Chains A and B, each alone.
Chain A
Amino acid sequence: MEFFEPVINGFGVVLEPMNLLYCLLGVMIGMLIGVLPGLGPAATIAILLPLTYGVEPVTAIIMLAGIFYGAQYGGTITSVLLRLPGEASAVVTVFDGYALAKQGKAGTALGIAAIGSFIGGTVSIIGLTLLAPIVAGFALDFGPPEYTALALLGILLVATVSNGGKLKSVIAAGLGLLLATVGRDGFTGESRFTFGSLSLADGLDFVPIAMGIFGLGEILYNLEQRHNKVQAPAKVANVWPSRQDLKQSSGAIGRGSVLGFFLGILPGGGATLSSLAAYAMEKKRAKNPERFGRGAVEGVAAPESANNAAATSSFIPLLTLGIPANATMAIIFGALLIQGVTPGPQLVANDPELFWGVVNSMYIGNILLLIMSIPLVGIFVKILRVRAAILAPITVLITLIGVYTIRNSVFDIWLVIFFGVIGYLMKKFGFEPGPLVLAFVLGALLEENLRRSLLVFGGDAAGFVSRPISGVLLLVFLMVIFLPLIQSLFKKAHAKKATNTDDPSRKNEKESV
């Protein structure tokens, strides 16, 4: 019973009215931005960071987490009804979801997706509850060398698994690391790259960077690429799937949930990758794979279960190791730091109320989302009529005024605009903004641990390899770098032509970070 006591206490935290309210607020915002094409969860969470300053850490994270997994539910709706994925992780749902909608079974598709999402999310929360304390316990022995290796590997994986070109993503990560060095050196107290500016003396703040690169950058990018093909959504009738549909998709939901849970834990994995993988798996397993793309319920059930499971399980590396597994987690990491909470293996033991409060809020959030997705789905379908042109200036104002309110600083508004332009240019030139923000967040941690380890090793870098865990992590790090290089050399030697195959989901993933 000892294990479950803090878990149960966590429910007490969630049921406080303030936390319930923010949970509801979070999942509603998540659902909304999932439905509205344009802003993704990372951008939304970044823009809403100022809102979290006035509240308790646990309340803030409950809301931000709600936005993240709520967006997975909402993204489905536009995929099914408009053939426009509202969310990168709902791209594959388009294939069978829209086919079902054309057959007049939009309701079935949405219903199955909602139930799959709910089950995927719930399975993943249970997994998180059981697995997270074990991982955290294991990581308690980690010293500076292990953290150095882990941070390096995390940044590299996020950069190489992301959608953009690998080389460009790694460059973006490098720029993020360089930006993190601006300000006072943690060891010697000397100023670095401040150019005599007092505003830079304490370093660049995470919030204007995240708000600029993710939020404003995306808004500016969307100014240029508006979703024009908005058409009136089909009528949605009978969202309750039939017993036969449920039976047909139960296997897909189960497999999708488990697959999503494991892929979500991996750095760089996350919701998008797992929805693609789950769809591919179901298609491969199916007796008649040609049904896929023509309205197979499994084609909706599997990716939707998987992306929710992954969204939830990607909290594991953040909350247990202090290493964010994707760009959205990097922003939540930043939000925790702002609140004075350093995520890491000590979190479960030192701050059980925060840990279990956030984890358990996901049960409540998923129930709220199930209610919003089935009986209340009509309301969200109506919201589809709101035009992007109207939302853009509102989000811009929220960003500009929001960043000002944090420190009453006009300089911060300038920073947001500056990084907004950078974010826009990065997208234009094919650089993913995610790795930059992630590397920026981890930059200070990485440098500190690297310098501490070198101090421990007496300046001998070979010390990293002599410790088993950091040695293995660095080995994986090198493999991630060199395996693709060797493979491509091998391929080039075999066939001289290198055609650039294009992933169909690429474009839409880029639209919503």
Chain B
Amino acid sequence: MTSPNGDGSNLGGSDVRAAAEAGSVLDDLTPEQLAAEWDEDKPPAAGPLANIAAAAVVVVIGVAGIFLSLAMGLGTPEAPEPGMWPFIISVVLVVLATALAVFGRNTLDAEKFSSSSWAVLSGVGTLIGFVLLVGTVGFEIPSLLLTFVWLRFLGKETWRMSTVLSFAVVAAFYLIFVVALGVPVPHLF
């Protein structure tokens, strides 16, 4: 439900204002209008290319599955070798993906990537950073950094709110996981 001009995925002040405006205008809607409004809120749909790309990925997986299964040996239906079942699934996948590329490509149920998709990418980046650090320095510092980044930059909270909350969250996790539950999570302190 990002705004169409793509100014971010935040919950900041502008959205509150927008919400107030929306509230006054949209108050008297029939279910049909409401449904139409929900439809408009949908992120823009990606074109047929997205479906073809998805189908291509599935075909690649299916073909790889077929070859790997053949290498494992198929056997007979009565005495199947390990490759038989994955072989069947892989063939079905290839058939279905081809059908998707041929008949289903014009169904507009894929979403376009927008500027706010970068938020997701940075989110994933923080997760990877977390795993890389957690084994060596314990969970506290990575958790603090992750929470802060998510609050301040991905969630557009204020600096003060983000700082206070991230410390509070990490403290709470420490108390729950390490002190109270004694879970063997790697920790620094």
The smallest C-beta distance from B88 to any residue of chain A, in angstroms, reads 9
* Contact indicator A171/B151 (Cβ below 8 Å): no
* Contact indicator B131/A417 (Cβ below 8 Å): yes
Given known A168-B100, A293-B31, contact A223–B120 (CB-CB < 8 A): yes
Contacts of B154 in A (CB 8 A): 223, 389, 392
What sequence of 0s and 1s flags, for each residue 380-394 of chain A, a beta carbon within 8 Å of any chain B beta carbon?
000000011110111
Contacts of A420 in B (CB 8 A): 124, 127
* Contact indicator B61/A455 (Cβ below 8 Å): no
In the complex, whether B167 has a CB less than 8 A from a CB of chain A is: no
Contacts of A392 in B (CB 8 A): 150, 154-155
* Contact indicator B27/A410 (Cβ below 8 Å): no
What sequence of 0s and 1s flags, for each residue 14-50 of chain B, a beta carbon within 8 Å of any chain A beta carbon?
0100111011000100111011101101110010001
* Contact indicator B78/A171 (Cβ below 8 Å): no
* Contact indicator A421/B124 (Cβ below 8 Å): yes
* Contact indicator A178/B96 (Cβ below 8 Å): no
* Contact indicator A504/B35 (Cβ below 8 Å): yes
Return the contact of B39 from the options A95, A164, A504 (Cβ within 8 A): A504
* Contact indicator B9/A225 (Cβ below 8 Å): yes
Given known A223-B119, A459-B76, contact A394–B20 (CB-CB < 8 A): no
Name the residue among A396, A417, A421 with the largest chain B CB count within 10 angstroms.
A396
Chain B contact surface mostly:
helix
In the complex, whether A243 has a CB less than 8 A from a CB of chain B is: no
Contacts of A167 in B (CB 8 A): 96, 99-100, 103-104
A171→B51 CA distance, assembly (Å): 12
* Contact indicator B104/A230 (Cβ below 8 Å): no
What sequence of 0s and 1s flags, for each residue 165-176 of chain A, a beta carbon within 8 Å of any chain B beta carbon?
101101100110
Given known A223-B154, A231-B19, A507-B39, contact A451–B11 (CB-CB < 8 A): no
The smallest C-beta distance from A426 to any residue of chain B, in angstroms, reads 9
Q: Which of B43-82 contact A (CB under 8 A)?
A: 43, 46, 50-51, 53-54, 58, 61, 65, 68, 72, 76-82
A177→B89 CA distance, assembly (Å): 7
* Contact indicator B39/A502 (Cβ below 8 Å): yes
* Contact indicator A174/B92 (Cβ below 8 Å): yes
In the complex, whether A9 has a CB less than 8 A from a CB of chain B is: no
What sequence of 0s and 1s flags, for each residue 403-419 of chain A, a beta carbon within 8 Å of any chain B beta carbon?
01100101001100100
* Contact indicator A500/B89 (Cβ below 8 Å): no
* Contact indicator B185/A193 (Cβ below 8 Å): no
In the complex, whether B159 has a CB less than 8 A from a CB of chain A is: no
The smallest C-beta distance from A345 to any residue of chain B, in angstroms, reads 25
Contacts of A508 in B (CB 8 A): 38
What sequence of 0s and 1s flags, for each residue 134-166 of chain B, a beta carbon within 8 Å of any chain A beta carbon?
110001000100110011001111000000011
A-B pair count, CB < 8 Å, reads 224
Q: Which of A93-139 contact B (CB under 8 A)?
A: 94-95, 102
* Contact indicator A405/B185 (Cβ below 8 Å): yes
* Range for the number of chain A residues in contact with chain B: 35 or more
A460→B76 CA distance, assembly (Å): 10
Q: Which of A25-84 contact B (CB under 8 A)?
A: 83
The smallest C-beta distance from B29 to any residue of chain A, in angstroms, reads 9
A203→B27 CA distance, assembly (Å): 53
Given known A223-B123, A392-B155, A447-B85, contact A228–B104 (CB-CB < 8 A): no
Contacts of B185 in A (CB 8 A): 401, 404-405
* Contact indicator A410/B72 (Cβ below 8 Å): no
* Contact indicator B134/A410 (Cβ below 8 Å): yes
A226→B2 CA distance, assembly (Å): 7
A388→B15 CA distance, assembly (Å): 13
The smallest C-beta distance from A467 to any residue of chain B, in angstroms, reads 17
Q: Which of A158-213 contact B (CB under 8 A)?
A: 164-165, 167-168, 170-171, 174-175, 177-178, 181, 185, 187-188, 190, 192-193
The smallest C-beta distance from A3 to any residue of chain B, in angstroms, reads 41
What sequence of 0s and 1s flags, for each residue 102-128 of chain B, a beta carbon within 8 Å of any chain A beta carbon?
011001111101101101100110011
* Contact indicator B107/A165 (Cβ below 8 Å): yes
A389→B155 CA distance, assembly (Å): 5
* Contact indicator B117/A224 (Cβ below 8 Å): yes
* Contact indicator B77/A454 (Cβ below 8 Å): yes
* Contact indicator B11/A230 (Cβ below 8 Å): yes
What sequence of 0s and 1s flags, for each residue 301-316 of chain A, a beta carbon within 8 Å of any chain B beta carbon?
0000000000000000
Given known A165-B107, A389-B151, A504-B31, contact A220–B123 (CB-CB < 8 A): yes
Q: Identify the closest chain B residue to A387 (Cβ).
A: B11
Return the contact of B104 from the options A168, A388, A413 (Cβ within 8 A): A168
In the complex, whether A261 has a CB less than 8 A from a CB of chain B is: no
* Contact indicator B77/A408 (Cβ below 8 Å): no
A410→B104 CA distance, assembly (Å): 39
* Contact indicator B120/A387 (Cβ below 8 Å): no
Contacts of B114 in A (CB 8 A): 224
Q: Identify the closest chain A residue to B127 (Cβ).
A: A417
Q: Identify the closest chain B residue to A92 (Cβ).
A: B31
In the complex, whether B1 has a CB less than 8 A from a CB of chain A is: yes
In the complex, whether A429 has a CB less than 8 A from a CB of chain B is: yes
Q: Identify the closest chain A residue to B117 (Cβ).
A: A224
In the complex, whether B183 has a CB less than 8 A from a CB of chain A is: yes
Return the contact of B93 from the options A171, A229, A502 (Cβ within 8 A): A171
A408→B134 CA distance, assembly (Å): 12
A389→B149 CA distance, assembly (Å): 11
The smallest C-beta distance from B182 to any residue of chain A, in angstroms, reads 11
A19→B182 CA distance, assembly (Å): 22
Top 4 closest pairs, chain A to chain B, by CB: A504-B35, A389-B155, A459-B78, A430-B109
Residues of B within 8 A of A (CB): 1-3, 9-11, 15, 18-20, 22-23, 27, 30-32, 34-36, 38-39, 41-43, 46, 50-51, 53-54, 58, 61, 65, 68, 72, 76-83, 85-86, 89-90, 92-93, 96-97, 99-100, 103-104, 107-111, 113-114, 116-117, 119-120, 123-124, 127-128, 130-131, 134-135, 139, 143, 146-147, 150-151, 154-157, 165-166, 169, 173, 177, 183-185
List, sorted by A's number, 21 A–B pairs whose CB atoms are closer than 8 Å. Answer: A94-B34, A171-B96, A174-B96, A178-B61, A178-B86, A188-B82, A224-B2, A225-B1, A226-B2, A226-B10, A389-B11, A396-B146, A397-B169, A400-B134, A428-B113, A447-B85, A450-B85, A458-B78, A459-B79, A507-B39, A507-B42
In the complex, given contacts A174-B93, A393-B169, what are 9 additional A-B residue pairs having Cβ atoms less than 8 angstroms apart?
A94-B34, A177-B89, A178-B86, A225-B43, A229-B15, A397-B147, A421-B124, A500-B108, A504-B34
